[in-house]
A and B are shown apart, each in its own frame.
Chain A
Amino acid sequence: MSLSTPLRRSAATTARVQTSTTFICSQCRHATLLRRPKRPYQFTQLITMTDGSTFTHRTSSPVPVYRSTRDTRNTLLWNPTSSKLKSVEDDEAGRLAAFRAKFGRSWDVNTVVEGEDAKTDQPAKSKEAAAAEAAAAEEEDDNLLDLISSFGQEEQQPGKKN
């Protein structure tokens, strides 16, 4: 009894000293506090992917249905062989080519063909052919700039080349 009273008194004083704003979370060594696990609330969500397939999953967002605009079904990285997602345009009827020939990028088509022609026609003059090829490649690169800057010199340049 004489032993226990000062202990109890000291415990009482420490309890009084502690401010009322804090929870007492300390635990003694021979007992483990079993905490209630905290789990955020979860909902079941239906997810509709872009190709119409659906699945449900548990999530913390309360929206019941989620429509994805971009997922594995319409991304090129997940469909490397799909022709739909590649940016290659299939021009079956030749209408795109006709449109281009008429309205835009016709100068682009012409220069490439010219370069190829120059390469095939003169195999003997190797140096000049190589120079022409380089020029053609350059033309291919920035042919728009060339077209603008060398608009009036169209007659001179083929003469130099050939």
Chain B
Amino acid sequence: MRPLSPVLASLANVFRIPITRAPVRPTLTNEILSSTSTPTSPRSFSTTSALSKRKESGYRGDRRILLIRYFLHHPLTPRPLRFSRTRFLRHWTIHRAWNLYQANQRRAHELELQRQWQSMQAACEELRTGAGDGGKLFRKSMIKTGVFRDLVPIEYARLQTEGPAREGWNFEWKRD
């Protein structure tokens, strides 16, 4: 009747396994994971687990739920990385360089969007004043009624993929 170690006991508490009835169990993880392992004891001739075989024990759970609880509540998390001076410096350099690179890319993307917006503005201004039709075309182009009603056509709204499709993009497709 060896008592369980505190870690195992708390795990058993989390899994709702009565530990008072089953003190002889070597480790919980072995019991869970070694159900299909090679038979080492006469008990493994029966497929019923020992806990559910025993009548008086309160354990009437699903094995799947037991496993889910085991993996959800497992207390072990890998410790934080501990680097020596050189490796830390290496990591720091790469981290800063990556941040710099990302900031540059973000900046370039913003500038590109700004350039697009400004050229759109210039084109609209030209259409309004310089087209010579009294701004009729400009007014037509500013009608936005369909934008929020019809939204983007869903055939056009495809997420990019890394490998190409067999047919490729259908360039003949037009919105009805």
Does chain A touch chain B in the assembled complex, meaning CB atoms less than 8 Å apart? yes
Would you call B36 an interface residue if the criterion is a C-beta within 8 Å of the partner chain's C-beta atoms?
no
Q: B137-176: contact bitstring with A at CB < 8 Å (1 yes, 0 no)?
A: 0000000000000000011001011111111000001001
B37 interface residue per 8 A CB criterion: no
B interface secondary structure, majority: loop
Q: Chain A 20-50 against B: per-residue CB contact (8 Å), 1 yes, 0 no?
A: 1111000000000000101000000000010
Q: Which residues of A contact B75 (CB under 8 A)?
A: 23
Residue of A at shortest CB range from B6? A20
B54-89 vs A: 1/0 string, CB under 8 Å? Answer: 000000000000000000000101111000000000
A53 touches B176 (CB 8 A): no
Q: Check B165–A51 contact: CB distance below 8 A.
A: yes
Chain B residues contacting A80 (CB-CB under 8 Å) are 154-155
- With A and B bound together, what is the CA distance between A56 and B161 in angstroms? 9
B9 within 8 A of A: yes
Known: A78-B155, A80-B154. A54 touches B162 (CB 8 A): yes
Q: Is the CB of A81 within 8 A of B13?
A: no
Interface check A152, CB cutoff 8 A: no
Is B10 an interface residue, CB under 8 A from the partner? yes
Interface size on A, residues (CB 8 A): 21
Interface size on B, residues (CB 8 A): 23
Q: Find out whether the CB atom of B6 lies under 8 angstroms from the CB atom of A21.
A: yes
Report the Cα distance A159→B10, complex, angstroms: 90
Chain A positions within 8 Å of B167 at CB level: 51
| 6 closest cross-chain pairs (CB), A and B | A54-B163, A52-B166, A53-B165, A53-B161, A51-B165, A36-B77
27 A-B pairs with C-beta separation under 8 A: A20-B6, A21-B6, A21-B9, A21-B12, A21-B13, A22-B10, A23-B10, A36-B78, A49-B161, A49-B165, A51-B165, A51-B167, A52-B165, A52-B166, A53-B161, A53-B164, A53-B166, A54-B162, A55-B160, A55-B163, A56-B162, A78-B155, A79-B155, A80-B154, A80-B155, A81-B155, A81-B176
Q: B: which residues have CB within 8 A of A? A: 6, 9-10, 12-13, 75, 77-80, 154-155, 158, 160-167, 173, 176
